[in-house]
Chains A and B, each alone.
Chain A
């Protein structure tokens, strides 16, 4: 088991960032900035400039990919040289009082590998989108949002400040909202967007509370800042020494609050309801945001603040963990429960994307559990592999939907194997990777690492059994889906067709990585673990032959084959009619109904949270109308009466006098006006006459 050991590493890190940062980290901000700028430019483009919009956003993301590959190479070369990388650039955003709010970005193995993943998967999905969105009239808007999303997500990845991370986090949430509601003319899409936004906000409120608390406690929101960052020894000690309620330390409490935010974004158990509905967005959006990247942001966040979550973990003398923390226990249990819960629901869904969505929720649960049990490397490894094969599955599903003329119900497909061979092969690879088919697929190794960590955990045993059951369900529902879609007789309305090259090429690339990525994390050569942990671990093929490991291998293989077999037995080549009840429904209708209805979570929320808000809104409305409205009306009435009184006074007293005076004046004026006959020369004459008189008087009076 590996641990990030702050105490020993701080010195090395300080040296690294003090010795004049090399160029890479200084240009790190370009990685998110370029897609955001591209998005701004696209926003200004006219609707028909589709080609330019696509070129801009793909080009910008490609550039970001190049940059992040460069950064990654830098990190890898440092790592190969035995120096773990942690380079930061921090700057003050603003001051208030004596405190300053700092922002900054960071380059470390975690950020580097995540940035590469986001850029790479994102780029493939962008390319795929060109084909998928070809006939949409809001093509430019789509790419504008996608670019903005990519930029914001990369911002989350490289942020070295919890505040900057939160800002990008909210930007990501906004773009998610925009993209889910991309087809806002569909009421269901608009509702789904709203739901996603509100649900994630619930988590974000806790997250914000955690941030504020952290700032109040440690005085900084920077993660790493030459020893004074909030994740470094000094601040952690301070946080540990401070006790919150219920026996929690401040570190634990803040960790739990942050986890609430992560749970909202990553669809963990109480807040998972938005993610399946989010499938109303276009399929590339589902692939990019709701499978590969954004939902993984929660996991990434937990990985990022792992030192905080694990603060206070008792260690053995050799640095091995000898216990765990409350925060990690909560993370583990929530993750494991989510994994099983979502997998159960996925079994009874009929919408191709909804199955994948629940599968995503379930896999995110795995990642969380992996983080809680095995540390950063375990959770992140599954995150990376999952990003690739889940993106592959979503894109494959998109290809299927595209090929079946926007049909999403798996019962109305079937037999597509023959019509869409490329999609079928890649989809099958993705499906096997997700199921964890032994040895050859990346999913096997990453999931196995989680199971291994769960099995080896000395402190909490329950999650292991939950996760194993989840793995069985995963294999089962994926088999069910593939059988429905690709095997049996064709049940679709129109003639299915293969998707264009621009869509299948990304599928192929993703499929390659869905297989190949396993190589970086096998127990024989746990490169990924070393890379993230910055520590050497024992390696060699002999590790594969250890008894413990073999036992575990056998268990998971059996589980997977059990799931696959069960699925094939129930659904293989049956080609039931679309209206016909499901095979499982026939076998166990009492089990089926609650699963189909998503275990009534939405309904539960409907009668509790939403009902409460509705009632509260009614109360407020009544109060507004009756109480406040009454007061306002009374005041208005009083003033109106006063005005009436005034008017009467004016009319009879003031005006009467004035009118009389005016009449007199006008009569007098009429008499005088006869002099003014309107002839200019008469006036001039009178004037001249007056001058004569005046001068005569003057001279006469001045006579000596």
Chain B
């Protein structure tokens, strides 16, 4: 526990696990999406932390990754929530346990 990076990595791992747990145990599709957002954010935290403590921060690699990830996450949220709303219109529910018509 000597490196300052370790703390951030642990927090990120915790955040990722919490997000995953949420996505796995919640019924509501929106909550699953929120869980996935949390997982994405945990990854972002990792990127930024690695960028900060990398030998060449001026290369901006991790930072760029985080920024693009934020942008992609915004798109993902928009489409995901749009889908949830569309599904709700059809089935009158957002309960994933009741939504199993996606099989082939």
- A residues with CB within 8 A of B: 669, 673, 676-681, 684-685, 688
Contacts and interface: CB of A to CB of B under 8 A. Distances in A.
B102 A680 contact: yes
29 contacts: A669-B104, A673-B103, A676-B102, A677-B100, A677-B103, A678-B99, A678-B100, A678-B101, A678-B102, A678-B103, A679-B96, A679-B97, A679-B100, A679-B102, A680-B29, A680-B32, A680-B99, A680-B102, A681-B23, A681-B24, A681-B32, A681-B96, A684-B20, A684-B23, A684-B24, A684-B32, A685-B24, A688-B20, A688-B24
Contacts of B96: 679-681
Main secondary structure of the interface of A (DSSP, over half): helix
Interface in B86-104: 96-97, 99-104
What 7 A-B pairs come out closest when comparing CB atoms? A678-B103, A678-B100, A678-B102, A673-B104, A676-B103, A679-B100, A676-B104
Contacts of B99: 678-680
A569 to B, nearest CB: 104
A684 B99 CA distance: 15
Contacts of A678: 99-103
Interface in B47-102: 96-97, 99-102
Interface string B25-42: 000010010000000000
Nearest to B25: A681
Nearest to A673: B104
A694 to B, nearest CB: 15
Given A673-B104, A688-B24, 6 more contacts: A676-B102, A676-B104, A677-B103, A679-B97, A679-B100, A681-B96
A671 to B, nearest CB: 12
A685 B24 CA distance: 7
Nearest to A672: B104
A678 B101 CA distance: 6
A672 to B, nearest CB: 9
Nearest to A679: B100
Contacts of A676: 102-104
Nearest to B35: A684
A676 B104 CA distance: 7
A337 to B, nearest CB: 92
Contacts of A677: 100, 103
B18 to A, nearest CB: 13
A680 B95 CA distance: 11
B24 to A, nearest CB: 6
A699 to B, nearest CB: 14
A676 B102 CA distance: 8
Contacts of A673: 103-104
A45 B101 CA distance: 65
A680 B29 CA distance: 9
A677 B101 CA distance: 8
A688 B17 CA distance: 10
B91 to A, nearest CB: 12
Contacts of A688: 20, 24
A319 B20 CA distance: 120
Contacts of B20: 684, 688
A82 B62 CA distance: 101
Q: Which of B29, B97, B99, B104 has the most CB of A within 10 A?
A: B104
A684 B103 CA distance: 15
Contacts of B24: 681, 684-685, 688
Contacts of A685: 24
B15 to A, nearest CB: 15
Contacts of B23: 681, 684
B77 to A, nearest CB: 16
A677 B29 CA distance: 17
Contacts of B101: 678
A680 B32 CA distance: 9
A669 B103 CA distance: 12
A680 B96 CA distance: 7
A685 B25 CA distance: 10
Contacts of B97: 679
A684 B100 CA distance: 14
Nearest to B20: A688
A688 B23 CA distance: 11
Contacts of B104: 669, 673, 676
A676 B101 CA distance: 10
Contacts of A681: 23-24, 32, 96
A674 to B, nearest CB: 9
Contacts of B103: 673, 676-678
A677 B96 CA distance: 12
A698 to B, nearest CB: 15
A669 B104 CA distance: 9
B88 to A, nearest CB: 14
A685 to B, nearest CB: 6
A678 B100 CA distance: 4
Nearest to A685: B24
Nearest to B17: A688
A587 B103 CA distance: 110
A122 B23 CA distance: 93
B35 to A, nearest CB: 9
Contacts of B29: 680
A297 to B, nearest CB: 76
A670 B34 CA distance: 33
A440 B100 CA distance: 113
A678 B102 CA distance: 4
A70 B100 CA distance: 95
B104 to A, nearest CB: 5
A676 to B, nearest CB: 5
A518 B104 CA distance: 105
B33 to A, nearest CB: 10
A669 B100 CA distance: 18
Contacts of A684: 20, 23-24, 32
B57 to A, nearest CB: 26
Nearest to A674: B103
Nearest to B36: A684
Nearest to A682: B100
A679 B27 CA distance: 11
B71 to A, nearest CB: 23
B98 to A, nearest CB: 10
Contacts of B100: 677-679
A676 B32 CA distance: 19
A684 B29 CA distance: 13
B62 to A, nearest CB: 20
Nearest to A680: B96
A18 B32 CA distance: 95
A435 B100 CA distance: 107
Contacts of A680: 29, 32, 96, 99, 102
A685 B23 CA distance: 9
Nearest to B29: A680
Interface in B1-27: 20, 23-24
A273 B9 CA distance: 107
Nearest to A691: B20
A673 B99 CA distance: 17
Contacts of A679: 96-97, 99-100, 102
